[in-house]
Amino acid sequence: MQALKRSLEIVKSSPTLFILLLGFGLFPIYTSITDLPFWNDIAMRIMLLGMAALGLNLILGFGGMVSFGHAAFIGIGAYSVGISQFYGIDNGWLHILFALLFCAVVGLAIGFLALRTKGIYFIMITLAFAQMLYFFFVSLEVFGGDDGMGVDRAEFLIIDLWDPLRLYYLIWMALFAVCLLLLLIINSRFGVILQGIKDNESRIEAMGLSALRFKIIAYVLSAAVCGLAGALFANWQEYVSPDIMHWSRSGELMIVIILGGLSYIAGPLIGAIVFFLLEEFLPELLFFIAPNYSENWMIIFGPMLIAVVLFTKGGLMAIFHQIYLRLTRRQGTT
């Protein structure tokens, strides 16, 4: 009873998130009716990017720690799958366990060192550690080095993933679990202190709490979520290479978060959806205006990012929120 009440509370605390999750859950029905299975693939990519961004946003949006190196954890998660298979371990659950474990351990080490610094120094030291890992995997010739390595879709005991739809729902369930976990944490005592640290670290310290401990734990959690996304990503792409941990991927994660709105739990997921829709449709749109330049859609996307920063406060979710408030107010008065 208590648990049910609590779950309801959680769903109510972020309706947008659960509407999105429901949407993703029902999406394959739509694609099978319209016979557009290609879109399932896009939806999986969105869910994976969204999952990683949700993980990063635990520290970025709710803890105020601007990590510019979280793609490294996606990479560690993905390589956990590839390297396990290389050594003959085919069980998908074990892969995920390894991904979580490695990310947590590496996250703990990096967090312990990096969280002593603040501001721009923190941004840069997280970038440096990510670059270190990037070049580490480039140097591992055994696992393909620069070229990466192929990955077979793993066996999850009774569930094997020969049918892409099974992978789809595996990713969906993982995303659902991550959302629930993050919502619980953000509303928990730990989460509130974490947000307090973002607001004013020195006051939290003055209350007798060691901010560093909270920050390190949040950092490790967010690394593990990115690792989970990475492990599933390896299954989706059937291929791992150092490219997924390139610094521009870390930038992409941040873009997704800020685009959606970093102080909203659903923000990263919205950001991921919009990011992919733009990637899909901007070239087509450009084709109508200037057919020769449809490949150069970045020339529009770049300035759009700048516009989001200059003209919105708090990303797309903030805009939706404003519109929602205006609509409900109008209804209230008439």
Partner 1 sequence: MTKVILELKDISKSYGALRATHKLNLSVNKGDVHALIGPNGAGKTTLIKQIYGSEQPDSGQILLNGELINNTSPSVRVRKGIGRSFQISNVLLGFTVLQNALVAELARKGEAFRFFEPAFSNPSLLSGAHDILQGVGLLHQAEKLAAEISHGERRLLELALAIATNPKLLLLDEPMAGAGAEESRHITSIIKSLKSQHATLLIEHDMDAVFKLADRITVLVEGETIASGTPDEISNNSAVRKAYLGDGD
Partner 2 sequence: MTITLLLEQVFNGIQSGVTLFLVAAGLTLILGIMDLVFLAHGAQVMIGAYAATGFTLLTGNFYLGIFLAIPLTFASGYLLEYLIIRHLYKRDHMEQVLATFGLILFFNELIRIGFGPAALFSNLPPSLSGFVYILPETPYPAFRLIVIFVGLALAISIYILVAKTRMGAMVRAGAANPDMTAALGVNIHMLRRFIFSVGASLAGVAGMMLAPLTVVEPGMGEPLLILSLVVIIIGGIGSVRGAFIAAVLVGLVDTIGRVFLPEMLRAFMDQSAADGAGPALASMMIYILMAVILVFKPTGLFPPKG
* Residue closer to partner 2, measured from CB, 120 or 325: 120
For residues 42 and 5, give the distance between their C-alpha atoms in angstroms, rounded to a whole number. 35
Task: Identify the residue whose tokens are 């109510």.
Answer: 12
The site partner of 296 among partner 2, partner 1, none (C-beta below 5 to 8 Å per kind) is partner 2
The site partner of 322 among partner 1, partner 2, none (C-beta below 5 to 8 Å per kind) is none
With beta carbons less than 8 A apart as the criterion, state whether 285 and 295 touch. Answer: no
Nearest to 7 by CA among 152, 184, 130, 174: 184
Measured from the CB of residue 229, what is the shortest distance to partner 1 in angstroms? 20
Binding piece for partner 2, criterion CB under 8 A, among 79-87, 89-97, 227-235, 302-310: 302-310
Measured from the CB of residue 104, what is the shortest distance to partner 1 in angstroms? 15
The pair of structure tokens assigned to 140 is: 């591992």
The pair of structure tokens assigned to 133 is: 């890992």
When asked if residue 60 is in the footprint of partner 2 (CB under 8 A), the reply is yes
When asked if residue 278 is in the footprint of partner 2 (CB under 8 A), the reply is no
Question: Which residues are registered as beta bridge partners of 284?
Answer: none
* Residue closer to partner 2, measured from CB, 190 or 301: 301
Subset of residues 8 to 37 that bind partner 1, contact rule: CB under 8 A: 9
The site partner of 206 among partner 1, partner 2, none (C-beta below 5 to 8 Å per kind) is partner 1
The site partner of 203 among partner 2, partner 1, none (C-beta below 5 to 8 Å per kind) is partner 1
How would DSSP label each residue in 129-162? Answer: HHHHHHHHHHH-GGGTGGG-EE-PPPEETTEE-S
Q: What end-to-end distance do the CA atoms of the chain give, in Å?
A: 39
Measured from the CB of residue 213, what is the shortest distance to partner 1 in angstroms? 8
62: left (phi over 0), alpha (psi -120 to 50) or beta: alpha
DSSP 152: P
When asked if residue 129 is in the footprint of partner 2 (CB under 8 A), the reply is yes
For residues 263 and 311, give the distance between their C-alpha atoms in angstroms, rounded to a whole number. 17
The pair of structure tokens assigned to 66 is: 């601007």
* Residue closer to partner 2, measured from CB, 234 or 255: 255
164 alpha-carbon distance from chain centroid: 21
Task: Identify the residue whose tokens are 């999406």.
Answer: 27
Subset of residues 161 to 220 that bind partner 1, contact rule: CB under 8 A: 184-185, 187-193, 195-196, 199-200, 202-211, 213-214
Binder of partner 2 out of 25, 89, 105, 131 (CB under 8 A): 131
Return the SS3 of 160: strand
Nearest to 44 by CA among 147, 166, 155, 171: 171
* Residue closer to partner 1, measured from CB, 155 or 201: 201
The site partner of 208 among partner 1, partner 2, none (C-beta below 5 to 8 Å per kind) is partner 1
Side-chain-side CA neighbours of 130 within 13 Å: the count stands at 25
Measured from the CB of residue 151, what is the shortest distance to partner 1 in angstroms? 32
When asked if residue 332 is in the footprint of partner 1 (CB under 8 A), the reply is no
**Interaction site with partner 1 (CB under 8 A):** 6, 9, 184-185, 187-193, 195-196, 199-200, 202-211, 213-214
**Interaction site with partner 2 (CB under 8 A):** 60, 66, 68, 113, 116-117, 119-121, 123-125, 127-129, 131-132, 135-136, 138-141, 145, 247-248, 251, 254-255, 257-259, 262, 293, 296, 298-299, 301-306, 308-310
